[in-house]
């Protein structure tokens, strides 16, 4: 990528063949991580562009209302532009914002939340609190999943240098966006702390040396399929190898290699998945060595329970940024401002992490979650922490949370809801409006669907606090916490 420094910018214009645009000012950044520019009335989405850049670009795709483009020349780099720290930047679909200064990332994440709430929910965001940065911006994830493939994605560098290394088509890494059958081979990933990279690279080399085949995602054959690595703040580590069509000798060979080479692995598990999809939730998890779980810990800040422990199994859900999850839960607890006698409904409770985190602050917590195995984990997490004022129920939220359920368990004083990216079903929102809890603390990983839901809840609720939380540095993703207060029973006004 060429950079030309100039202070005398010529006006934006098309090249004679209408394929290139010159001097495009990048004014914003889209959710998928592409920079946004404009030419006449057309929006231009530009790969790897940073707000503040002035660029010459090549038009790659033309749509009715927008263009998609790539950078040909950086005429003037943005003050926010950074040199990417990862060798896989541009090809890998993760960490798409690492070419932008972290302080700038926070600005644009806050802006994305603000824009969504204003545009979709007509919320006054003038009192919005500053985004909470992540203390760690690299090696912050506690879980990564890699895919074995015999169809390695060839990078631009590979295509330019068709040497012997480019003929090695086996890969262990991440899916290329939009290509289910192509895997980018990863040399070093900056998302998970050591020995994660060493485990991945050593296992790949061992498999190649011993002629153990990598999975073919099209032909549905091959021995090695996935590698999952989980770690925790307690120092424990879980490694799960997912085999497809491997024989017993190959399985033993791989698992023994990992056991002997990496004594740091405290839970070594494997799965044989011969389905045509990668999901493991319907698969049997087999133990090779150690227990079938690791533990995560989280400060609770309560004299009777200063530190919480959470049991993490192969299929367990846990926020992937452990340290920042603690900060997120503290904000949710602060927004709720419990007095001690509340009945709380924790919707989309997962493994009961929030429910158990706030249990000491309230009278009772009732958690609801779609995944039965997550509810089993939630009960275990209450038990190991000697928490007796939680109850958990499995089922589809829109079906479980009905009038009979509320009559049986009581009308909640506070609702905490942390739905998936798609947000809440309209039936759930209708039920929330019927219940009229005094407060709703809405935690979301998608500000757009959160805003859509808030627009419906505004019938009875005022937005009184907003605080984004950065869980995933160098990506476009951002969590957001909103406090909604019942208007009829509160003197609170919208912020």
Structure letter (DSSP) for residue 132: B
Task: State the Cα–Cα distance between residues 452 and 442, nearest whole angstrom.
Answer: 12
139 close to 193: Cβ distance less than 8 angstroms:
yes
Q: CB neighbours (10 Å) of residue 400?
A: 17
End-to-end CA distance of the chain: 45
**Edge-to-edge order in the sheet of strand 224-231:** 179-185, 171-176, 143-149, 224-231, 237-243, 267-272, 286-289
The contacts of residue 364 (CB under 8 Å, 6+ apart) are 343, 344, 389, 390, 391
Measured CA to CA, the distance from residue 298 to residue 66 in angstroms comes to 46
Residue linked to tokens 């533990």: 295
In angstroms, rounded to a whole number, what is the distance separating the alpha carbons of residues 252 and 417? 44
Instruction: Report how far apart, in Å, the C-alpha atoms of 152 and of each of 45, 179, 472 are.
Output: 27, 11, 27
CA distances from 468 to 214, 227, 442 (A): 41, 32, 11
Question: Which two structure tokens, joined as six digits, stand for 6?
Answer: 């100039």
Rg (CA), the chain: 25
CA gap 256, 268 in Å, rounded: 10
Q: Which residues contact 475 (CB under 8 A, 6 or more apart)?
A: 33, 94, 95, 96, 97
What single-letter DSSP state applies at residue 192?
S
Catalytic residue among 86, 95, 189, 445: 445
Helix (H) or strand (E) holding 444: strand 439-444
Which residue is listed with tokens 């050591």?
194
Angle between helices 196-209 and 248-261 (to 10 degrees): 140
The yes-or-no answer on residue 445 being catalytic is: yes
What are the tokens at 494? 């919208």
Q: Which of 415, 315, 312, 304 is nearest to 355 (CA)?
A: 415
Distances (CA, A) of 233 to 284, 294, 357, 441, 480: 27, 10, 17, 27, 24
Q: What is the DSSP letter of 366?
A: E
Give the catalytic positions in this structure.
445
């Amino acid at each position: 990528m060429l950079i030309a420094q100039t202070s005398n910018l010529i006006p934006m214009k098309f090249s004679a063949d209408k394929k290139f645009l010159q001097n495009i000012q990048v004014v914003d950044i889209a959710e998928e991580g592409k920079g946004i520019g404009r030419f006449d009335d057309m929006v231009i989405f530009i790969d790897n562009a940073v707000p503040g850049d002035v660029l010459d670009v090549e038009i790659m795709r033309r749509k009715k209302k927008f263009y998609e483009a790539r950078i040909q020349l950086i005429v003037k780099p943005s003050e926010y532009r950074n040199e990417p720290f990862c060798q896989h930047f541009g090809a890998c679909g993760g960490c798409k914002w690492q070419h932008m200064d972290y302080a700038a990332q926070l600005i644009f994440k806050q802006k994305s939340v603000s824009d969504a709430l204003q545009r979709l929910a007509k919320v006054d965001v003038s009192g919005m609190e500053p985004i909470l940065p992540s203390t760690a911006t690299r090696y912050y994830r506690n879980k990564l999943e890699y895919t074995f493939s015999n169809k390695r994605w060839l990078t631009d560098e590979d295509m330019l240098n068709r040497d012997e290394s480019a003929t090695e088509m086996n890969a262990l890494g991440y899916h290329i966006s939009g290509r289910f059958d192509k895997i980018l081979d990863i040399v070093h990933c900056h998302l998970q702390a050591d020995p994660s990279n060493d485990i991945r690279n050593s296992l790949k080399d061992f498999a190649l040396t011993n002629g153990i085949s990598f999975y073919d995602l099209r032909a549905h054959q091959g021995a090695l399929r996935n590698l999952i690595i989980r770690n925790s703040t307690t120092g424990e580590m879980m490694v799960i190898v997912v085999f497809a069509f491997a024989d017993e000798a190959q399985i033993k060979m791989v698992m023994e290699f990992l056991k002997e080479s990496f004594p740091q692995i405290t839970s070594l598990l494997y799965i044989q998945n011969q389905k045509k999809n990668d999901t493991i939730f319907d698969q049997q998890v087999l133990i090779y060595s150690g227990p079938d779980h690791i533990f995560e810990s989280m400060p609770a800040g309560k004299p009777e329970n200063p530190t919480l422990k959470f049991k993490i199994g192969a299929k367990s859900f846990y926020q992937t940024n452990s340290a920042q999850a603690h900060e997120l839960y503290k904000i949710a607890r602060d927004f709720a401002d419990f007095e001690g006698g509340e009945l709380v409904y924790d919707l989309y409770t997962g493994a009961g992490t929030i429910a158990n985190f706030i249990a000491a602050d309230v009278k009772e917590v009732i958690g609801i979650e779609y995944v039965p195995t997550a509810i089993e984990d939630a009960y275990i997490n209450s038990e190991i922490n000697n928490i007796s004022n939680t109850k958990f129920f499995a089922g589809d939220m829109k079906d479980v949370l009905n009038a009979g359920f509320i009559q049986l368990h009581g009308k909640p004083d506070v609702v905490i809801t942390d739905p998936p990216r798609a947000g809440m079903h309209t039936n759930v929102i209708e039920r929330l409006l019927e219940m009229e809890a005094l407060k709703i603390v809405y935690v979301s990983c998608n500000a757009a669907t959160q805003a859509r839901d808030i627009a419906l809840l505004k019938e009875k609720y005022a937005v009184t606090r907003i605080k984004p939380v950065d869980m995933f540095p160098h990506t476009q993703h951002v969590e957001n916490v909103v406090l909604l207060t019942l208007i009829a029973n509160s003197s609170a006004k919208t912020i």
